[in-house]
Amino acid sequence: MDISFKNVSYTYQPNSPFAHQALDDVSFSIPSGTYVAVIGHTGSGKSTLIQHLNGLLRPTTGTVTIGDFVMSRTDKPKDMKALRSRVGVVFQYPEHQLFEETIAKDIAFGPKNFGVSDDVIKQRIDDILPTVGIHHDMLERSPFELSGGQMRRVAIAGVLAIKPEVLVLDEPTAGLDPRGQRDVMDMFYSLHKKEKMTTVLVTHNMEDAVKYADHIIILNQGKKYLEGKPETIFSDEDTLQQVQLDVPEVIQFLWKYEQKFGHSIPYNRQSITDIAQAIKEHIKEVGNDE
């Protein structure tokens, strides 16, 4: 499903002493099947934006279009459930939404609400378990007996079981250890590739954004600050530093390399091995010249 935001603004508690504008005239579009990263600090409007993607919030002004669903101040999709069954959201610390007696029941909770039959749900659980790395034997155990990382994966399975076309990820690795972070991010990436799922990753982790996304949108204080391909978005150091966002370490290093050696190695998401090779070739070349 294509996603488009047209001049979207959102104000919390309007006309009160606590009124707060979280989104300010934001426009962008995400074609179906892309992997987009939305980056910004806490308070940049990221979480408000997420909630517009499955109708938890509707814009104060402007229009949000998700596939055939149109939302504005006046328009509300007749079938909100249909929208939510097609846009899955993995919220921050998703393990906090677990509540059922068994892991199986908790994973089945979402699809059941959307009217999926028990047989189909069972099939889906069988498909998902290996992806999220939860063992079949554990299905009848309570989700509260699991370790933090396992709870996270059960919660994610609960969203995947809805079989959404769009998957929204809000800081999916927060609080995990480095190994857990890598596993979870790689899992989402392979799902995106395999199922052609439109993926919206909301994060403040630049490294992840650069590594996985086709397109990056940077939010700052409710406004769209920058947008573009990961390779190009980091071309302007000053622009990024103005909003105090971390430039991925590899790019920082290449900048410093250029300063020191007067030679630029352009970054196009190559692996560390390739970068090492490029550095070696350059150094050898300079050595031969002298």
* Interface contacts to another protein, rule CB under 8 A: 12-13, 16-17, 41-43, 51, 54, 56, 81, 84-85, 87-89, 91-92, 94, 96-99, 109-110, 112-114, 144, 147-149, 158-159, 162, 174-180, 182, 204-205, 244-246, 249-250, 252-253, 256-257, 260-261, 272-273, 275-277, 279-280, 283-284, 286-287
- DSSP secondary structure string, 86-134? HEEEE-SSGGGG--SSSHHHHHHHHHHHTT--HHHHHHHHHHHHHHHT-
- DSSP secondary structure string, 125-163? HHHHHHHHT--GGGGGS-GGGS-HHHHHHHHHHHHHTT-
Instruction: State in angstroms the smallest separation of the CB of 215 from another protein.
Output: 21
Cβ nearer to another protein, comparing 193 with 256: 256
Instruction: State in angstroms the smallest separation of the CB of 96 from another protein.
Output: 5
Instruction: State in angstroms the smallest separation of the CB of 119 from another protein.
Output: 18
Secondary structure E strands in the chain? 3-12, 20-30, 35-39, 61-66, 69-71, 87-90, 166-170, 198-203, 215-220, 223-228
Cβ nearer to another protein, comparing 81 with 193: 81
Instruction: State in angstroms the smallest separation of the CB of 100 from another protein.
Output: 8
Cβ nearer to another protein, comparing 219 with 250: 250
Cβ nearer to another protein, comparing 95 with 212: 95
Cβ nearer to another protein, comparing 182 with 229: 182
Q: In the beta sheet, which residues pair with residue 203? A: 39
- Give 21's Cβ-side CA count (13 Å radius): 12
